Structure 1
Amino acid sequence: MTINSTARCPFSGMPAAIDEPAEQRIEAPVMDVDPFDEATLASPYAMHERLREADGDVVYIPAYDIYAVARYDAVRETLENWQHFSSAAGVGLANFNSEKPWRAPSLLLEADPPQHDAPRAALEKILGARKLRRYHDEWRQTAHELLGGLLNDGTTVSNDGAVELDAVTEISEVYPLSVFPDAVGLQQEGRANLLPYGNFAFNAFGPRNRLVTDDLETIGPVFEWIGNQCPREALNEDGFGDDIWRAADQRHITEEQAPLIVRSLLTAGVDTTVYGISAVLYHLASNPDQYARLRENPQLVRRVFEEALRLESPVQTFFRTTTTEVTIGGTTLPENQKVLMFLGAANRDPRRWENPDAFDLTRDPSGHLAFGSGVHQCVGQHVARLEASCVMEALIERVERIEFIAPPQRHINNTLIGWDSLPIRFVPA
């Protein structure tokens, strides 16, 4: 698989200086911020507040010649109005209307109806909540085995039987890689490529900065491995991948579409779940009263994941491109204009959520935008929910308290937010 180094995003520089008349931007407040600055990516919340509290639903960011929306209603409207805010021109900074994509566009993320409809329908059937029930017992057992092994074989055990570990590298990354590749039907060798591949793909939605260029020399073999997993002969029978190819046999999708849909699963099926499980563990360790509430009320297992996603949305941003002149909240945007949607900011909008920065299991977090909304809403959300609930069920049975033993370390990505390290202490139940 080759990388197109001539495209602006992810492999070229910042957009050219703006030479359009300033009058075209007068309707939107101009915000001198850089959403892709590494310090901002690590802690975007102050910027989010500035964007939300600007004088209007839309702001203009001259550093990248983009408009941005950060309030809940404006973000949701943009997500759902695919007719005027297209995904087909790319969900990153690059505009596919004028720039060649760095790889074949995703049939799920980077296509609009009607081209989007058949792949979406096929994958919704394969990854539906009812279809996933067959995995619950196996995935729950895997979670118990993982937690049990950590508690029994932990490297540091105190007098109260507590075990110290890194929740990212020993739980959040290990568990999805233990269950998801088998469900897809991947070969055993090379599965560790899924994490750097997803990390690069989500970085590539931003500008060509250090986060992209640092990986260019090493990412080639990873891409080659991913490409080799998508043909039918590479996949085991009875997995999600084989289901996709059988949908091609039944002519629900074409044979040309099948490997691209498999690739979409591999792009977004691991990293986002890793970050989501990490978000749960981070907020439970940060809020011991809420963890106690969860153990007393195990029926909150599903809610704890949704509240963690609302508060710490793994996918922080996505772009859309206007298909015509369109108005949001009194601001008129020109045709073919990139619009950056701040999902993470919308999920902490005080216009929508009371005390939005608090992790609160008494809250109903339904309606959060961590999985998007509308026709492009995350098709794999039921997989992520099942994985997280299995981990949480095992956790509350086996662990009485979760405590930090050192400050967490952020992982920096142009699109995602998560952690490189969560040093915690498990006190067994």
Structure 2
Amino acid sequence: MMERKTTASIRKTAQKATEALQPVGNAVRMNVTAAIRTRRRGYDGWTGAINTDYDPQNPITAAHPFDAYRALHRGGRVHYNPRRATFIVSRLDDVRAALRDTDQVTSSQGVTRLRFSAPLAVLTDDDEHTRLRRQVQPGFSRGAMKSWQAMTEKLATELVTDMLNAAECDVVQRLAIPMPIRLIAQILGVPDTELSDFRRWSERGVGVMELRPTPSGVVDAAKSMAAMIALQRYFRTHFAAGKLKGSDTVLGRLLEHNTDGSLTDRQLMLIAIHLLIAGNETTTNLLGGMFDTLARHPDQYELIRANPDLIPIAVEEQLRITTPIQNLYRYTRADYRIGEVTIPNGSRVLLSFGAANRDPAAFEDPDMYRADRDPRKHIAFGYGAHMCLGAPLARMEAQAVLNELVARVSRISPDGPTRWSSHSSLRGPTHLPIRLTPV
């Protein structure tokens, strides 16, 4: 009886959370029933997949997933978690192939455990994806990156100086969080006085990927959706006042190249929200992970300092080794075959970017960070049609910070244990005490 009441309460709360999204122009349609039906065990491994208890929603596994990745690599090409009704693909070539095969493995039903759709490039395939990506592409062109280079380098200088003055500090709070949020705010034309709201909305908004079928989990999801609505309200208000569309903003660039006038305020709003949430959190994870790696591998930091030309490739190796987005989901819209395994039509598939980037068949000593390794086949930013548009911006930020460090810091030392996030898809340090030794 108690279980039925709890389930009913979850469904009711979930329904309210779904209704809360309706003000966002009905842009998001979610299949909450499918998302919360966790007691259904799903298929057995009858299709040939190897059953596994690997579960990125386990917070301990999410924070420290690498033993689990090694176990997946020792097994077959496709695993299946009956409890989560999820197929898992972990080898680099297989993940890349699935990302290419959008006819059978689609993004249009969502890229998280929660099935939903929206008119965003990340959530579409085929002609619609091409059309939406073409609308957004001018915002991340070489010209755009060049125009933002100076502000990126200025931010890096300011924040590294702040860390040097502090001597000992939590790099997450001092640099990894403020760097991307401040840069994105400048790119969008958001004033510094409103940064605290943007940071809070962004951090809460990411939680929409983490719907858990418990009362507290659904409440958390409702808070995430409330943050999304707050962002929507903010952009609509500013658009109505004629703001955030200047020629020096990313939205202004998009409008300048949208000669047919098809880019609406609603689409601009969704693009801005996606940029804020996706670009902010992932770059924070990249920057925090970079400090953790270099602090714990002083020989590799010395190698970079001795040869600063390695900085671009060292950032690529960092993306491979920590992979800010550990995994995303897809849904099959046809039977999909990997080797001897057939994943049935309508299945949920977890594409493990983190495991693929440590695939021993693709990378020698995959758990080792090597600053001079060329790991460019990594998939930290995805692959194929869905390669992340914001990748050049994240790379530019990491390279700017590393340039500052090698010029001004002789040693990066850990000043305590690193605490890692337990988010099932996004992984990075949440607390990282660091001590910098000036040159």
Matches within 5 A, 1:200-219: 200-208=204-212, 212-213=217-218, 215-216=220-221, 218-219=223-224
Partner of 1:158: none
Equivalent residue of 1:311, what SS? helix
Q: Letter of the 2:301 partner, please give it.
A: Y
Q: Is residue 132 of structure 2 the alignment partner of residue 119 of structure 1?
A: yes
Q: Is residue 227 of structure 2 the alignment partner of residue 222 of structure 1?
A: yes
Gaps of 5+ in 2: 1-15, 21-29
CA contact (8 A) 1:9 1:208 kept: no
Partner of 1:160: none
Offset from partner CA, 1:107-132 (integer Å, 9 cap, x none): 12111121111221222222123421
Partner of 1:17: 40
**d(CA) in 1 for partners of 2:257 and 2:294?**
41
Matches within 5 A, 1:244-323: 244-248=254-258, 250-251=260-261, 253-323=263-333
Partner of 2:407: 397
Partner of 1:159: none
Q: Letter of the 1:116 partner, please give it.
A: H
Q: Is residue 72 of structure 2 the alignment partner of residue 67 of structure 1?
A: no
Matches within 5 A, 1:95-110: 95=115, 101=116, 105=118, 107-110=120-123
Partner of 2:157: 144
In the TM superposition, what is the alpha-carbon distance from 1:262 to its structure 2 partner? 2.1
- 2:363 maps to which of 353, 358, 363: 353
Offset from partner CA, 1:313-372 (integer Å, 9 cap, x none): 010010111111121122111111111000000000100000000110121010110000
Relative to its length, the structure with more helix (as a share) is: 2
TM-score normalised per structure 2: 0.86
Q: Is residue 76 of structure 2 the alignment partner of residue 46 of structure 1?
A: no
In the TM superposition, what is the alpha-carbon distance from 1:213 to its structure 2 partner? 4.2
CA contact (8 A) 2:156 2:179 kept: yes
CA contact (8 A) 2:120 2:132 kept: yes
CA contact (8 A) 2:207 2:221 kept: no
CA contact (8 A) 2:294 2:301 kept: yes
Partner of 1:3: 17
Using a 3 Å threshold, how does the CA distance of structure 1 residues 29 and 4 change in structure 2: closer, same or farther? same
CA contact (8 A) 2:47 2:343 kept: no
CA contact (8 A) 1:244 1:262 kept: no
Equivalent residue of 1:427, what SS? strand
Partner of 1:235: 244
- 1:331 maps to which of 331, 336, 341: 341
**d(CA) in 2 for partners of 1:286 and 1:9?**
43
Q: Letter of the 1:174 partner, please give it.
A: P
Offset from partner CA, 1:147-196 (integer Å, 9 cap, x none): 223323x2xxxxxxxx1111110011122222221112224343234444
Using a 3 Å threshold, how does the CA distance of structure 1 residues 409 and 19 change in structure 2: closer, same or farther? closer
Q: Letter of the 2:227 partner, please give it.
A: V
**d(CA) in 2 for partners of 1:297 and 1:332?**
48
Partner of 1:157: none
CA contact (8 A) 2:38 2:213 kept: no
**d(CA) in 1 for partners of 2:32 and 2:190?**
29
Q: Number of paired residues?
A: 409
CA contact (8 A) 2:42 2:82 kept: no
CA contact (8 A) 2:353 2:380 kept: yes
**d(CA) in 2 for partners of 1:410 and 1:10?**
31
Partner of 2:48: 27
Equivalent residue of 1:294, what SS? helix
Equivalent residue of 1:321, what SS? strand
**d(CA) in 2 for partners of 1:185 and 1:227?**
16
Matches within 5 A, 1:69-88: 69-88=89-108
Partner of 1:380: 390
Gaps of 5+ in 1: 96-100, 155-162
**d(CA) in 1 for partners of 2:204 and 2:37?**
18
% identical equivalent positions:
27
Partner of 2:177: 173
In the TM superposition, what is the alpha-carbon distance from 1:266 to its structure 2 partner? 1.7
**d(CA) in 2 for partners of 1:40 and 1:209?**
19
In the TM superposition, what is the alpha-carbon distance from 1:290 to its structure 2 partner? 0.6
CA contact (8 A) 1:108 1:261 kept: no
Using a 3 Å threshold, how does the CA distance of structure 1 residues 196 and 108 change in structure 2: closer, same or farther? farther
CA contact (8 A) 1:8 1:14 kept: no
